[in-house]
Chain A
Amino acid sequence: MKETIDRLRSDGGERIAAADTPAGIEALRVALLGRKGEVTLLLRGLKDVPADERPAMGAALNRLKVELGELLDARQQELAGGASGEAVEMDLTLPGTPPCPVGTNHPLVSVLESICDIFYGMGFSRGEGPEVELDYYNFTALNFPDDHPARDIQDTFYINDKVCLRTQTSPVQVRYMERREPPLACVFPGRVYRNETADASHSAEFYQIEGLVVDTDISMADLKNTVDTFVRNFFGAAEPTRFRPHYFPFTEPSVEVDMQCVVCRGKGCGVCGQTGWLEIMGAGMVHPNVLKGAGYPEDKYTGFAFGMGIDRIAMLKYGIDDIRLLYENDLRFLNQFRGVL
């Protein structure tokens, strides 16, 4: 290696001196010091040098790197100096001053907006509804039987016997249908509430986004298609999804959608509980009772609905391991999301 360093020292100097255009200098800079440059490769090769020779060899290599860098800079200035007149002397390493400090958008809201963007792209509109909601819209109109395990009081914050904090964004789909005739395609993001003990994966307040499509012949195949398109667009690569039959009172058939674990790619890890799959949403075909409740004639329309937790999606996307981080607003957390829209 020693010989190569010596050769590069003399031969590199000659090559730099011989360059006669700024582009030539840049090409040389890449060839010598670039990511796959000759010096860089030598530095990487240091690990194969016997341990006792390594320190001396490393120092020599670093010296060479600095020398070549200076020669390149000097030659570059020589070449440029001729064109633009007199050079000035100033400390170009002083810190820059930004027009204003760089703030952040909250990752939860950013993820919410970027999910909406994907659905805008699929022709969906966006709507919203109240967080303090009638029990009627949160449960009854969604085909939850009265006093059924499906509407477990333990999970719902009640204001009085008729009013609760919505436990899901699904009531907004009913409100939306009550006011419109199909075709409908809309998403409803917003805050929801569950009476749960806060821990790393649970928060009493969190965000969901609901989607609804109703038209004359909307099918389960359409639902799959739409969900797959969303996953592909949001998570990038073609992550496999899996649909499992499930139960929600307001959809029939109902499914849960899993995505292949983004961490282990399906091999099984702590994040996915060794299953290789991550549950990302609940979905299904809008239950005929819900369509009827919205005032639509029987058999005329079919539709699908889906709902997902935005917190969970944000956590998956950024590898956030504790949901509480999303509500603490600690700048040491938020600052990591600078530049995320």
Chain B
Amino acid sequence: MKISLDWLREYVAWEDTPAELAAKLTAAGLNVEGIEEYRQSFPGVVVARVVHREQHPNADRLSLCRVDDGSGAEVQVVCGAPNVREGLTVLFAQVGAVLPGNFKIKKSKIRGVESFGMICSASELELSAEGDGIMELATELPAGTSADEIYGFTDTVLDIEVTPNRPDWLSHVGVAREVAAIYGTKVSMPYKWNSQQSGENLGVKVQIEDYGDCRRFTAYGIQNAVRGPSPKWMQDRLRAIGSRPINNLVDITNYVMFELGQPMHAYDRAKLSGGVITIKRAEAGLTVQTLDDQERKLDEGTLLICDEAGPIGLAGVMGLANTEVGPETTEILLESGFFDPMLVRQASRGLGLLSEASYRFERGADWDMVETAALRALYLFQELAEARIVPDWADRGDPDYRPAPDIPLRVWQVSRLLGAEISTDQAAQYLQALGLKVQPMGNPGAVSANAVNMMVKVPSFRRDLHQEVDLIEEIVRSHGLDNLGGGDFRGGAGGVPADRDLQLRKARTWFAACGYHELVTSSFMGEKDHEHLGLPEEDIRRETISVINPHHGGDTRLRTVLLPSLLQVARRNVNAGAALPLRLFQINRTYLPAGEKRPDMKREDEALLPEEPLFLQFALIGSREVGMGGVPADLLEIKGTVEALATFLRVPLAVEPVGTERWLQDGAQWRIVADDQVVGTAGRVVADIAGNFEVEVPVAVAEINLDRLALRPLPLKYEGFARYPAIKRDLSLLVPGAVRYGTIRDKVQEVGGPLLRRVDLFDIYRGQGVPEGFGAYGIRLKFSSAKGSLKGKAVDKAIEGIIRGLKEGLGIEQRV
């Protein structure tokens, strides 16, 4: 809301500078977001007299004039206005002048004749929206006087953030009330027109079908209004707050709205059918034309103002074209009403039609202001448009309407909630300064949960005050938040991260220490992601949750898998020339439609909510190295990373052949298992699928569903360890191509006897010296005993058993 300080001073006085005032308003909750020095000025525009006029030699519709602009010499200028004539006093823009819209006046040649400036119309100076021809001034000011002497205006305008609970601050008088409370002064309301009762009849009856929709509707008659520009003071103020003056009839209702906060609407009385105005809901299928000349299809139930022929206005939003006030209008019906905020809001949102009126009505009107504002407008119509006011008016209101009930206040609760001692007197003073009426109750010194110290009467402009705590907010606004201090809260009883949070933090920092970069990616998925991943129709992850009102051009569906987001980041960085291989990880959620009530739910409809499993995903991108046994090194690293992570987090993760993930290559993927449950997959992304996301380098990826994994670290208790030296022996085995290392390892462990501690593979060799179809596997065995130093003989015996076991069980020979 823009507040003109020039305007504000009409209702309240203060002495601070604008910046000081702004700081005090901000501290009271009217957040001043900007202080603008408003200046309406016309550099280079001066009063001038038309000394001579003749027909332009080359153009019928142009005049060639000489004007006296006070510069001493007469200036030649071409003018296109029909009303230009000798002897006129005009506003003349000299060469070098800058008109509104940054229009620079230069010396020019018009149809072959030189012109040194421009004689201005009101619209060129943005002094009026209407009117043809140049301005005809009735001033005695000498030629050469700056136009600023007549039309200049300077003001300071505050831009105030008004929260939705305070519609009363959407007006100058509303803000004046706060200023008065801050400075301990009073608001003087603008002059109000008082009707004189006479016999004349307005001839309009109002019917309200449901008082729930419209609590009050008043209508007033205005006759013989003379249409013309509004007075300068009104135009200046409207312009200063960013509202464009149109003519007096339109400006008056706007001015009163910005002054008092009550939107009103003027109908052309002659265009109304019949004498009955009805406020009712729209039937289905209605189309109307609003004042902005738009055809609009109305929702059923939209609240309408109707005459006997049909709709003439969308209640609280905008009038209709069929009853618009125009140049031919002689009699006006002025409406001032109180409409249901929710209905106004629904209509305004439904039609995408936000107006100054709907903005105020959807926040709530002020019952008393319905009439006060109308009377103020009538006064201005009379004063500024020479109108005659029909002394009788129509006023229909809900007979059951009651002002808001009085609110009991306990100073006990005030002090308790604020953590500051506030006395009964102090509280009462703060509230009274804001225009609330206070009725003392009981013993003013009583402070307890049961002691009501006062009853507070809420004025009609404070619809936001319902209960005690609302009054406490008013008290602290006045008391000043800066004056609160201390507080004895010394912290909660928690302070220890939960296991899960600690484990996730460990994982994050571990990955970063291992060279991985952490990603934060969008919850939305691309339109083609599922297709690009090759997810079959029956895959449960094809079922998605969509937003019904996506942002224009934005994605609509929440992701069910993380991989596309990771590949997107990979592509971006590979294209940007990042060094390969690239290591990326993310801990993010996916969203899978649910549909059953889970035990931790409090409400039935929570079953509507999806599952949001948290995934850890990490990937190695762009590695082409080959590892042991010809297996790509990135796959071995991914596997090893899962295993190392499991060790670091102390969780029982195992990586086993084989996985069945759709986007991973068959034969190059594992499943990740914890306590016999599959919790994830790891392996090589199918090259074509990576290619669908424009990633043309190898991608090895693992992902773990953290919700399926008990993240609590395995319990730890120290055990004794073998202090006697261990014995290590290396074996070279001739392994047939079809035998997997895992089988060998398991066999060795099976037959290795109680002294065998570890089996490690350290080399695979194929080639010269090794028969075709075999591999030479180097494994290292470690033996130890808790009982004493090992004897070579005992180890030899164990080795013999292993060699025999491998030969008999798997047909593997020792290579000599």
Give me the interface of A with B, judged by CB distance under 8 Å. 100-106, 108-109, 113, 116, 120-126, 130-134, 136, 146-150, 153-154, 156-160, 162-163, 165, 175, 178-179, 183-186, 191, 193, 195-197, 204-205, 213, 215, 217-226, 242-247, 252-256, 273, 275, 285, 287-288, 299, 302, 326-332, 334-335, 341
A247 touches B166 (CB 8 A): yes
A124 touches B495 (CB 8 A): yes
B492 touches A125 (CB 8 A): yes
**Closest chain B residue, CB of each to CB of A156:** B549
B476 touches A108 (CB 8 A): no
Mask, B510-524, CB within 8 Å of A = 1, is 011111111111111
Interface presence of B738 (CB below 8 A): no
What are 6 A-B residue pairs whose CB atoms fall within 8 Å in the complex?
A116-B501, A149-B362, A154-B349, A157-B547, A221-B485, A244-B27
The interface size bin for chain B is: 35 or more
Q: A224-B487, A246-B29 are in contact. Are A255 and B481 (CB under 8 A)?
A: yes
Q: A124-B495, A147-B342 are in contact. Are A162 and B573 (CB under 8 A)?
A: no
User: In the assembled complex, how far is the CB of residue B475 from the closest CB belonging to chain A, in whole angstroms?
Assistant: 9
- Cα of A110 to Cα of B602 in the assembled complex, Å: 33
B501 touches A225 (CB 8 A): no
Query: Which 6 residue pairs are nearest across A and B when measured between Cβ atoms?
Result: A185-B492, A219-B419, A221-B419, A245-B29, A123-B491, A125-B494
Instruction: Of the listed stretches B212-220, B608-616, B646-654, B774-782, name the one at the interface; the rest are far from the partner chain.
Output: B608-616
B494 touches A103 (CB 8 A): no
Mask, B585-617, CB within 8 Å of A = 1, is 001010100000000001101101110100000
Instruction: Of the listed stretches B464-472, B754-762, B783-791, name the one at the interface; the rest are far from the partner chain.
Output: B464-472
Q: A103-B583, A131-B589 are in contact. Are A162 and B512 (CB under 8 A)?
A: no
**Closest chain A residue, CB of each to CB of B475:** A253
User: In the assembled complex, how far is the CB of residue B113 from the closest CB belonging to chain A, in whole angstroms?
Assistant: 49
**Which of B362, B489, B589, B603: most chain A CB closer than 10 A?**
B489
A329 touches B521 (CB 8 A): yes
**Which of A108, A120, A153, A178: most chain B CB closer than 10 A?**
A120
B609 touches A225 (CB 8 A): no
Beyond contacts A245-B29, A245-B473: 4 other A-B pairs, Cβ-Cβ < 8 A, are A106-B520, A125-B495, A132-B558, A329-B573
- Cα of A102 to Cα of B520 in the assembled complex, Å: 18
Chain B, 324-350, CB within 8 A of any chain A CB? 341-342, 345-346, 349
Interface presence of B550 (CB below 8 A): yes
**Which of A100, A105, A124, A197: most chain B CB closer than 10 A?**
A105
Chain B, 505-556, CB within 8 A of any chain A CB? 505, 508-509, 511-524, 545-552, 554
Query: Chain A residues with Cβ under 8 A from B569's Cβ?
Result: 329
- Cα of A244 to Cα of B516 in the assembled complex, Å: 43
Query: Chain B residues with Cβ under 8 A from A195's Cβ?
Result: 547, 549-551
- Cα of A120 to Cα of B547 in the assembled complex, Å: 35
Interface presence of B772 (CB below 8 A): no
Interface presence of B164 (CB below 8 A): yes
Give me the interface of B with A, judged by CB distance under 8 Å. 26-29, 31, 33-34, 163-166, 341-342, 345-346, 349, 362-363, 413, 416-420, 449, 467, 469-470, 472-473, 476-477, 481-482, 484-498, 501, 505, 508-509, 511-524, 545-552, 554, 558, 569, 572-573, 576, 578, 582-584, 587, 589, 591, 602-603, 605-606, 608-610, 612
- Cα of A60 to Cα of B362 in the assembled complex, Å: 80
B31 touches A105 (CB 8 A): no
- Cα of A335 to Cα of B481 in the assembled complex, Å: 42
B520 touches A329 (CB 8 A): yes
**Closest chain A residue, CB of each to CB of B470:** A252
- Cα of A134 to Cα of B572 in the assembled complex, Å: 35
A244 touches B609 (CB 8 A): no
**Closest chain B residue, CB of each to CB of A215:** B489
B519 touches A205 (CB 8 A): no
A153 touches B487 (CB 8 A): no
**Which of B363, B520, B552: most chain A CB closer than 10 A?**
B520
User: In the assembled complex, how far is the CB of residue A140 from the closest CB belonging to chain B, in whole angstroms?
Assistant: 11
- Cα of A113 to Cα of B413 in the assembled complex, Å: 36
**Closest chain A residue, CB of each to CB of B494:** A125
- Cα of A170 to Cα of B277 in the assembled complex, Å: 46
Q: Which of A116, A156, A222, A252 contacts B488 (CB 8 A)?
A: A222
**Closest chain A residue, CB of each to CB of B498:** A126
**Closest chain A residue, CB of each to CB of B474:** A253
Q: A122-B492, A146-B342, A183-B493 are in contact. Are A326 and B481 (CB under 8 A)?
A: no
User: In the assembled complex, how far is the CB of residue B347 from the closest CB belonging to chain A, in whole angstroms?
Assistant: 11
Q: Which of B488, B496, B514 contacts A103 (CB 8 A)?
A: B514
User: In the assembled complex, how far is the CB of residue A179 from the closest CB belonging to chain B, in whole angstroms?
Assistant: 8
B481 touches A221 (CB 8 A): no
B523 touches A244 (CB 8 A): no
A184 touches B492 (CB 8 A): yes
**Closest chain A residue, CB of each to CB of B27:** A244
B521 touches A163 (CB 8 A): no
